[in-house]
């Protein structure tokens, strides 16, 4: 009998193995329970109420919970770093205040909604043989969590970090019209519009509910005269030689659409126009691999490619007729910088 068989048949060794597995399951369960509590409290308005420092009596009145239950709930929140208590007062911790605030890049609501969606789709992946169902409201949840909001924090991030690392971006915006393909809620384009008053852009989104949210955000920021949001299949865009630059949200495009989308981009960019594509899911280290495999399960259930590297994206673009200028290393990950040959 092999050593592995000996281990599996030894009662004490099996006890040790089962205890290790039990500890892992309990860790997952504790995290799920904390997340469920936070989501419920968010739905009941706690996270907005506790953006300000509140007296415990005010929170008790707001929550409607009996004193003992309120004490226990706050103990959970405090032990998980969500709130801070002192001198009869309570408020969100500094980190959770920044996450729940209106100017967060990707906010608490977006993360909690995405968590609920991913949990449901992960269950479905073990039950369905076909593609995972994704409704229009689901697509909006994904778009919000992937793109984020174009607020003051995001603008500072772009001004101080992202844009200086991509000089091609500023040059393309200043030279003519920008194209955002698969724009989602268009956080990047809306942020760039706040930085460059000369920016004019076309933003393409396939899902009407997502596009409607993009229009709402553009209206809120007063830039609808400069950003043309279109609900359409990107492959059908037919405006040859118009755009000086484009960003393609490639992770959300199924395999069967990619070659035609790149052909469209080659056609509508001006000669010398720049195309940018981001590597979204680089190969993880061992600590990140469990979460990576869960995201991969759901993404491939949607029928979209997952974990395509910058080198693979560059090969796609070259096959379509683009010239590869460089693979840019940024604080947002690696981006492929390609150009339509002049």
DSSP H helices in the chain: 3-9, 11-43, 46-49, 56-63, 67-79, 94-100, 108-125, 136-147, 152-157, 167-175, 187-195, 208-221, 255-268, 289-302, 310-320
> 1 pLDDT exceeds 50?
no
Class of 136-339 per CATH?
A: alpha beta
State the pLDDT at residue 6: 61
Domains of the chain, residue spans: 3-100, 136-339
Class of 3-100 per CATH?
A: mainly alpha
Do the domains 136-339 and 3-100 match in fold?
Answer: no
State the pLDDT at residue 47: 98
Location of structure tokens 């092999």: 2
Beta carbons of 183 and 204 less than 8 angstroms apart: yes
pTM: 0.91
Tens-digit pLDDT profile for residues 172-230:
999 999 999 999 999 999 999 999 999 999 999 999 999 999 999 999 999 999 999 99
pLDDT band at 4 (very low <50, low <70, confident <90, very high): low
Terminal-to-terminal C-alpha distance of the chain: 69
């Amino acid at each position: 009998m092999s050593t592995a068989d000996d281990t599996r048949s030894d009662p004490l060794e099996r006890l040790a193995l089962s205890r290790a597995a039990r500890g892992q399951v309990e860790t997952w369960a504790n995290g799920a329970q904390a997340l469920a509590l936070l989501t419920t409290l968010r739905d009941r308005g706690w996270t907005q109420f506790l953006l300000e420092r509140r007296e415990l009596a005010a929170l008790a009145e707001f929550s409607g919970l009996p004193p003992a239950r309120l004490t226990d709930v706050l103990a959970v929140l405090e032990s998980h770093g969500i709130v801070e208590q002192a001198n009869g007062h309570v408020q969100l911790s500094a980190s959770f205040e920044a996450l729940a605030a209106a100017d967060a890049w990707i906010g608490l609501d977006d993360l909690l909604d995405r968590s609920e969606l991913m949990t449901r789709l992960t269950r479905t992946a073990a039950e369905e043989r076909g593609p995972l169902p994704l409704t229009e409201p689901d697509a909006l949840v994904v778009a919000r969590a992937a793109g984020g909001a174009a607020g003051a924090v995001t603008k500072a991030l772009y001004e101080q970090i992202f844009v200086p690392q991509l000089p091609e971006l500023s040059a393309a915006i200043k030279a003519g019209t920008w194209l955002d393909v698969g724009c989602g809620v268009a956080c990047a384009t809306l942020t760039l519009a706040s930085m460059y008053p000369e920016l004019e852009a076309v933003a393409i989104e396939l899902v009407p509910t997502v596009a409607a949210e993009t229009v709402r955000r553009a209206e809120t920021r007063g830039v609808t005269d400069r950003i043309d949001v279109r609900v359409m299949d990107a492959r059908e865009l037919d405006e040859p030689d118009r755009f000086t630059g484009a960003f393609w949200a490639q992770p959300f495009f199924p395999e069967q659409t990619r070659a035609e989308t790149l052909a469209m981009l080659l056609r509508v960019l001006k000669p010398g126009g720049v195309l940018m594509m981001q590597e979204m899911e680089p190969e993880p280290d061992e600590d990140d691999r469990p979460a990576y495999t869960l995201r991969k399960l759901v993404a491939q259930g949607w029928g979209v490619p997952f974990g395509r590297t910058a080198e693979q994206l560059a090969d796609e673009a070259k096959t379509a007729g683009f010239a590869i200028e460089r693979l840019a290393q940024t604080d947002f990950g690696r981006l492929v910088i390609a150009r339509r040959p002049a």
